[in-house]
Structure 1
Amino acid sequence: MDPLTGAAIVGGAVGAVAAAPVVLGAAGFTAAGVAAGSVAAKVMSAAAVANGGAVAAGGAVAALQSAGAAGLSMAATAAVAGVGAAGGFVARLFF
């Protein structure tokens, strides 16, 4: 592997992990709960409607809110880093 590809992979992983809390907060998944009028509120509403009026414990909305409030777990950090690394590799294929 050439050094630029390695740098793209590492950069993608680090960048994705660093950006995740910022993106979650901007979407409305905050430490104080789901922000009113945000994308998170719309997602939560849609999940509640689809689930008969309640948001499922352990579902995607709950996981995103947990990550927005407390940060990413080790498993979530690894998953986000993996996706970022893959993105860095794919980007390197085209640039």
Structure 2
Amino acid sequence: MGLLTTGLAVAAGAGGAVVAAPVVLGAVGFTSVGIAAGSWAAGMMSSAAIANGGGVAAGSLVAVLQSAGMAGLGTAATAGVGTAGGAVGLLAALI
């Protein structure tokens, strides 16, 4: 595999992941107006609330994903998603 092809795969993976993250969050129910009723996110929130005695803990995965669904990804989250997508692109190029 050539260096140019590998670089393009990494860039496509990183860019694709950053673009797809908000779409995926909305599709599973973490929307800009709250968690969608009957969605996968609602089930996740229900499970978290049951496990925590009726509330969803601040900083939990549900809370972080809902924050990203409402406000978008912050700089650190965008970097993390891009890095993960780039790694997937690299692995795809090497296979």
TM-score per shorter chain, which class?
A: over 0.9
Percent same amino acid at aligned positions? 62
Give the Å deviation of 1:56: 0.3
Query: Is the aligned partner of 1:77 residue 2:83?
Result: no
Count of residue pairs brought into register by the alignment: 94
Instruction: State the TM-score, normalized to the length of structure 2.
Output: 0.96
Distance in 2 separating the partners of 1:48 and 1:88: 36
Query: Is the aligned partner of 1:56 residue 2:76?
Result: no
Give the Å deviation of 1:63: 0.5
Instruction: State the TM-score, normalized to the length of structure 1.
Output: 0.96
* Structure 1 gap ranges (5+): none
After TM superposition, where is structure 1 displaced by more than 2 Å over at least 4 residues in a row?
none
Give the Å deviation of 1:59: 0.9
Q: Deviation digits for residues 12-34 of structure 1, max 9, x if unmatched? A: 00000000000000000001100
Distance in 2 separating the partners of 1:85 and 1:51: 35
Distance in 1 separating the partners of 2:19 and 2:28: 15
Give the Å deviation of 1:93: 1.0
Give the secondary structure class of the aligned counterpart of 1:24: helix
